[in-house]
Amino acid sequence: MALDCSINSRQMCHWNARRVNAGSKRVNVDSKRMDVGVKRVNVDAKRVDIDSKRLDADTKRVKVDAKRVDIDSKRFDADTKRVHADTISINVDIE
């Protein structure tokens, strides 16, 4: 299942995933909305390091809280407002 996170100006994020764990909170999502501190993220790789935060997507690892990240020759800019990830569940630790 592909995860497509799109946050509009209201910072509403649509996650096509089964489970999202943000910090100590858990959100069950199936095309449901979730408020996120970032605007958009493009994730299409096995590992991403962003600042010191971490996001576990199945066997994939992502740290999220930065402005730019290299993801398998791809670049992810938090200000560009986009997120794509090929996972079913994601653990997000964002303050």
pLDDT in tens, 52-77: 444 444 434 444 444 444 444 444 44
Check: CB of residue 14 under 8 Å from CB of residue 33: yes
Which pLDDT score, from 0 to 100, does residue 52 have?
A: 42
Which pLDDT score, from 0 to 100, does residue 91 have?
A: 52
For the chain, which residues make up each domain, given as ranges? 3-92
Check: CB of residue 51 under 8 Å from CB of residue 31: no
Which pLDDT score, from 0 to 100, does residue 93 have?
A: 54
This model's pTM is above 0.85? no
Which pLDDT score, from 0 to 100, does residue 50 have?
A: 44
Low-confidence ranges of the chain (pLDDT < 70): 1-95
Task: Tell me the C-alpha to C-alpha distance, in Å, between residue 67 and each of 7, 35, 59, 60, 77.
Answer: 15, 18, 23, 20, 5
